[in-house]
Amino acid sequence: MARTIRVGSGAAWWGDRVSPAALNAERGELDYLCFETMAEATISAAQVRSRRDPSFPGYDTYLDDRMRAVLPACMQQGTRIISNQGWINPEGAAKRIVELLQELGISGVKVAAVNGSLITDRALELTDTILENGEPTATLGSTLISAEAYMGAEPIVEALKNGAQIVVTGRVADPSIFMAPMMHEFGWDPLDHERLGAGNGLGHLLECGAQVTGGYFCDPGFKDVEEPWNLGFPIAEVNEDGSAILTKTPGTGGAVNMRTVKEQLLYEVHDPANYITPDVVVDFTTVNLEEVGQDRVRVSNISGKPRTPTLKVSLGCTEGFIGEDMFFYAGPGALRRAELAKRVLEERFKIVGLQADEYRVDFLGMNAIHGGATPDTAPEPYEIAVRVAARTKTRQEAEKVGREVDGMAVSGIGHTGKRVPHQDRTREIIGVWSSLVPREKVPATVTYFES
């Protein structure tokens, strides 16, 4: 069994950059390259698209781009790939990866698809209560379009044990994707909460990609990093005891230091002593961090507690539509013109009978971020974008926003700047709710393909 393995990040979300993943594949000397491309709303959005477009394959729309960028180097160097790019169709993603391997003339590669996370057809039977409001999950029945349970690392480990060089999944918790190689290589028991706590903690540090190497971190003059346009994705040199050194590909920008690691360590962690994942409850309060070289931070002593008897379920539901558009003012008096334009729109929405559950007008550059908390003494900007949005029950009502904003072009205030409305100004809202399901009710299955 290996005593040290190198696990690298290939993506932190669906829209992440591809070139750092290619660099990790080519120059990272990796044993494993892991892609995390899902957010809470990803599967729901995929289900919506699938309903509208029967040709949509149901997996990550950038699957081809990412695999074409990394497959040659990974297959040549023996790097195994783990990815949750399967979304709502892991088997379709696996078959597509096989096709890409065949196009490259690479044969004999086993690709595994992990299924089981998508439980839409039985979610209301398996769940009881909505965590956010305490209401029964049955109240979501008429609007439910998708439900997926957060699965853990065990089915990925099964696939690796059975010889899969590439494993593609649906909804698997972000840290679990990165911990699965550790469990496999070091033979960690799924119930060894101390080892799994350390592994999931490292997975959490890797899951957001460049956030631990200087991305979403730099603030000029306060937190500077070199070449922020050339950020490398992180690599963990993991030991059998669950300690590791975090680093990045040589020659890339950004930084791996105590500050970047601490920020990512606490990112999206509500309770550092009880960070719940499907595999284990991670305890970050025991962690030791130490800079041991340039862009090298040693992480040790992350601990864990026994896993919960339940898994989290995300329930995606339709919740109406949003109509949104904007227009612009610049120069002296931009703010007073924007304020009058707001009044004009409010009156015109009354005239056309806009039926909105929520309606707002924001002045970008003035109050769009802090809203009512914007200080009265905030300086008047030289230019303002007026953003108008309304949440409605029907698409027809949402379309009224763009129609009335169009009218501002020649029936509005002096010096109104209006863009040509080529883009779609209405969109369906997908609300995401949470519940819990007994873990034994969500069994995983693994299917194998070969190039």
Q: How many domains does the chain have?
A: 2
Per-residue model confidence as pLDDT tens digits over 209-240: 999 999 999 999 999 999 999 999 999 999 99
305, 313 Cβ separation under 8 angstroms: no
Residue 412, domain CATH = 3.30.70
Confidence of residue 1 (pLDDT cuts 50, 70, 90): low
Determine the structural domain holding residue 385 and report its residue range. 317-433
Give the CA angle between residues 27, 13, 247 to the nearest 5°: 35
Mean pLDDT of the chain: 94
Per-residue model confidence as pLDDT tens digits over 166-217: 999 999 999 999 999 999 999 999 999 999 999 999 999 999 999 999 999 9
Q: What is the pLDDT of residue 42?
A: 73
CA distance 186 to 80: 16
CA distance 305 to 288: 18
Q: Which helix (H) or strand (E) holds 202?
A: helix 193-207
CA distance 432 to 140: 11
Are 295 and 411 within one domain?
no
Are 352 and 230 within one domain?
no
Label each residue of 337-400 as H, E or C: HHHHHHHHHHHHHHHHCCCCCEEEEEEECCCCCCHHHCCCCCCCCCEEEEEEEEEECCHHHHHH
137 in a structural domain: no
Query: Does the pLDDT value for residue 384 go beyond 70?
Result: yes
Summarize the confidence of residues 133-154 as an average pLDDT. 95
CA distance 439 to 451: 33
164, 447 Cβ separation under 8 angstroms: no
144 in a structural domain: no
336 in a structural domain: yes
Are 321 and 174 within one domain?
no
Give me the amino acid identity at 7: V
Q: What is the pLDDT of residue 96?
A: 98
Q: What is the pLDDT of residue 67?
A: 98
Are 276 and 423 within one domain?
no
CA distance 444 to 150: 11
DSSP assignment letter at 160: H
Are 199 and 228 within one domain?
yes
Are 410 and 304 within one domain?
no
Q: What pTM, to 2 d.p., does this model score?
A: 0.92
131 in a structural domain: no
Higher pLDDT, 365 or 305: 305
Residues in the chain: 451
Q: What is the pLDDT of residue 423?
A: 76
Are 240 and 262 within one domain?
yes
Relative orientation angle of helices 90-103 and 63-77, to the nearest 10 degrees: 60
CA distance 43 to 382: 41
Are 97 and 180 within one domain?
yes
CA distance 237 to 247: 8
Are 300 and 384 within one domain?
no
Are 101 and 203 within one domain?
yes
E strand residue ranges, 141-287: 144-149, 166-169, 234-239, 244-248, 275-276, 281-283
User: Residue 400 corresponds to which tokens in the numbers above?
Assistant: 């009224």
Confidence of residue 71 (pLDDT cuts 50, 70, 90): very high
CA distance 124 to 147: 9
Are 392 and 344 within one domain?
yes
Query: Does the pLDDT value for residue 9 go beyond 80?
Result: yes
* Displacement of CA 389 from its chain's centroid (Å): 25
451 in a structural domain: no
376 in a structural domain: yes
Query: Does the pLDDT value for residue 374 go beyond 90?
Result: no
Are 332 and 231 within one domain?
no
Looking at the chain, the number of H-run helices and the number of E-run strands are: 11, 19
Boundary of a domain, candidates 276, 308, 340: 308
